[in-house]
Amino acid sequence: MATQVNDPRVVEFDVRTDEMLVNMGPQHPSTHGVLRLVLRTDGEIVSEVVPHIGYLHRCAEKIGENLTPRQWIPYTDRMDYLAGMNMNLGWALTVEKLLNHTVTEKARHLRVIIGEMGRIASHLVGMGAYGLDLGTFSPFLYAFREREKILDLFEEACGARLTYSYITVGGLTADVPAGWLEKCEAFLEQLEPIIQEYHTLLTTNAIFIKRTAGIGVLSPEMAIDYGCTGPVLRGSGVDQDLRRDGEEIYTEMYDGYAFEVIVEKEGHYPKDHDYPPVPEEAVLGDCWHRFYVRMLEVVQAIDLVRQAMDRYRSSAGDIGEPVKLTQKLPAGEAYLETESPRGQMGFYIVSDGSSIPWRARARSSCFCNLSVIHEICRGCLIADVPAVVGSLDIVMGEIDR
């Protein structure tokens, strides 16, 4: 609206802005799956973010009520499809808790090897894709180059590269082939020095720091209130990891293993002396910290795999036998959460005494992590929304199920 003033050469304008709803997705390349975000904006400033989910819903939980627990293993692969081994492990341990079944010592250590290798592969995707979200392509190529080598190892072990069905109720479907451990050890030796290259490409990159430091700050109190878990929670300074703090049936897998929970304490992280320090611009709970936790967890996972390989070699016996496909379940219920790469993944099973569960449910880590998005995006720029979403490292197959 223009208003005329005394001077005919001067026109004053009353400039006003209106709120606008902007759709981001479900095909947006930076939303990590078929996720739709509705942004309420005032100019470039975001005042509200509403996630719309369900585009990938496949009734997985209902399917679990029509199959035996071993038959449902392939469906868990397709929840967090970037960490299928860890999904297999969570469901297998839940059913074993109901059955009061204990796997052999050798199978326990092999599960640690496979689970932590899956964690490395998942965090490599998270790191590479996050760089892609922020406009750099090289880290994505670097990350997938190393991930391919992990998938090659998984393919040798179970014949699959994405959906494995390898860790099953009662143990694993097969032992690793001869020479597999030596190949795994060679891969870890090759990967370890390359991590410094990732830090050069992203962690200490001035542009990356400007795009992530101080953005999407999630306070420890808010993270706990919203039920956030995994690197999202630990990136806010909350010291919790189910590998140490979970139920006994899960923590005994890591019994005797030496590892530290990756979380900032008194201004520094474990292993911080070997890797770049926290930049001055970073604020605890921001996007940079969530990214850095995952980077250090890769280092920790390498150490855990090496420990597990030593224990696996020294374990007598074999990996045992999976339970029968149609074995009847005792009447009752069991719930167990495990520390997947994205947080606490829980499985729940209720049995009426038959071989098919009466109820099968999954508690998604990504669902709770995504629920905080409207809080940490409030007041940020539209261009920063992909940076915040990418820092949560969500997988929609786990959320929608």
| Structure confidence by residue, pLDDT tens digits, 148-184 | 999 999 999 888 888 888 999 988 998 899 999 999 9
Q: What is the pLDDT of residue 115?
A: 92
**Helices marked H in 134-230 — which ranges?**
138-158, 180-198, 206-212, 220-225
pLDDT of residue 272: 66
- Report which of residues 34 and 116 the model is more confident about: 116
What mean pLDDT is predicted for residues 130-151? Answer: 90
Assess whether the previous peptide bond of 26 is cis (omega < 30° from 0): yes
Q: Does residue 264 surpass a pLDDT of 90?
A: no
Task: Label residue 357 by pLDDT band (50, 70, 90).
Answer: very high
CA angle (81, 365, 345) in 5-degree steps: 75
Residue-level pLDDT at 13: 59
Q: What is the residue-wise DSSP string for 326-351? A: TPPPPSEEEEEEEEETTEEEEEEEEE
Question: pLDDT tens across 65-78, in order?
Answer: 999 999 999 999 98
Give the pLDDT confidence score for residue 43 in this predicted structure.
83
Q: How confident is the model at residue 27 (pLDDT cuts 50, 70, 90)?
A: low
- Is residue 2 pLDDT above 60, yes or no? no
Instruction: Let me know how long the chain is.
Output: 401
Q: Which of 25-39, 49-63, 208-222 has the lowest mean pLDDT?
A: 25-39
pLDDT of residue 113: 94
pLDDT tier, 266 (very low <50, low <70, confident <90, very high otherwise) = confident
Question: Which residues, at least 6 apart from 186, have a Cβ–Cβ distance to it below 8 Å?
Answer: none
The yes-or-no verdict on residue 267 having pLDDT over 90 is no
What pLDDT does 209 receive?
92
| Model confidence band, residue 327 (pLDDT cutoffs 50, 70, 90) | confident
What pLDDT is recorded for position 44? Answer: 85
Has residue 22 got a pLDDT over 90? no
Mean pLDDT of 5-33: 68
d(CA 217, CA 43): 21
Query: Does 273 have pLDDT greater than 70?
Result: no
What's residue 331's pLDDT? 92
Asked if residue 147 has pLDDT above 80, the reply is yes
Cα–Cα distance for residue pair 203/205, rounded to 1 Å: 6
Residue 14 pLDDT grade (very low, low, confident, very high; cuts 50, 70, 90): low
pLDDT above 90: percentage of residues in the chain: 43
Amino acid at 25: G
Distances (CA, A) of 132 to 65, 174, 294, 350: 39, 37, 16, 42
In the predicted structure, residue 31 carries a pLDDT above the cut 70: no
All structural domains of the chain, each given as residue ranges with its CATH number in brackets, are 63-400 (1.10.645.10)
Q: What's residue 57's pLDDT? A: 87
Looking up tokens 């796997």, which residue turns up?
103
Give me the pLDDT at residue 333, please. Answer: 94
Tell me whether residue 373 is exposed, middle or buried, using C-beta atoms within 10 angstroms of its C-beta: 0 to 12, 13 to 18, 19 or more.
Answer: buried
Average pLDDT over residues 361-371: 90
Q: Residue 5: pLDDT above 70?
A: no
Q: pLDDT value at position 17?
A: 67
**pLDDT at 7 > cutoff 80:** no
How far lies 37's CA from each of 31, 52, 155, in Å? 8, 6, 36
Helix then strand count (H, E) for the chain reads 16, 10
Going by the DSSP 8-state scheme, the letter that residue 11 receives in this structure is: E
Dihedral over alpha carbons 281, 390, 303, 183 (to 10 degrees): -140
Q: What is the pLDDT of residues 82-106, one digit of tens each?
A: 888 999 999 999 999 999 998 999 9
Q: Give mean pLDDT, residues 356-373.
A: 91
Identify the pLDDT of residue 288.
92
